[in-house]
Amino acid sequence: MRALFFCVVSNKLNMRGYRNRRCEKSDFEVVKGKIRPKRNSWFYNNMLRYMLERVTQECAHWTYRAYGEKLPLKVVMSARKGFSYSQTKAYLRKISVRKHDKSYFNNRNWIDWSMIDISGLEDRRSKTEPGLQVADCVASSVFRALDASWFGDSQPTLIRGISEKFAKSSGTCKDYGFKLLPDGFKGPVSQDQSEAFKLVGYKIPSIAGEAP
């Protein structure tokens, strides 16, 4: 059985200075004079789009190579309180029929829609689904390798053990099996974080005494 990992990573530091005003209009509302996030999942849905762009292309390649045809994959998401899965399905249906040319912002990849059944997307509790447990372990390892604790330390060894399992394109997992958003992140990062990023193809120099 062939098993590969995909990871899409973003946090407050590498989003600093970045704004998408169109998304902001959808994500925030004013209640009693205060701005607060709406109860929707636009940010996570957009992250899912990046994930599916890569996963569907990779699975299409390998299933065709192994079976002579493209076999659709099953999408199972971890049940998360406050997350609207019906909204996620609606989002996927919307972008599946909306077409943009290559000049459109961030339109370098695409989802192979023949590989997924949007209506068949499921959400389950991690404790009942071994695949979700594996995904949770990978996500936890990446988080602890890249995100500094209250004490300013991170653990690059946690990503070293799984770095070879991230899907690769042209010999590297950078921007494919492992995607950092937005593009062009330059730090600052600690030495440990710099080492962790290097393991997944990103050359981000460390700055002494500084960490996210």
Tokens of 205: 């120099």
Q: Decide if 105 is inside a domain.
A: yes
CA distance 160 to 141: 9
Q: Decide if 209 is inside a domain.
A: no
Q: Decide if 21 is inside a domain.
A: no
- DSSP assignment of 80-100, as one string? -TT--HHHHHHHHHHHHH---
Domain hosting 179: range is 7-16+37-199
Q: Decide if 87 is inside a domain.
A: yes
Q: Decide if 1 is inside a domain.
A: no
Q: Residue 169: what residue type?
A: S
CA distance 210 to 187: 9
Q: Decide if 162 is inside a domain.
A: yes
Closest CA to 123 of 96, 86, 93, 73: 86
pLDDT at residue 105 in the model: 46
CA distance 197 to 195: 6
Split into its structural domains, the chain has a count of 1
- Banded model confidence at residue 84, pLDDT cuts 50, 70, 90: confident
The distance of Cα 26 from the centroid of its chain, to the nearest Å, equals 20
Q: Decide if 164 is inside a domain.
A: yes
CA distance 55 to 73: 9
Q: Decide if 208 is inside a domain.
A: no
Q: What is the pTM of this model?
A: 0.79
Give residue-wise pLDDT tens across range 1-56. Answer: 678 999 999 865 555 555 555 555 555 556 666 655 555 577 788 889 999 999 99
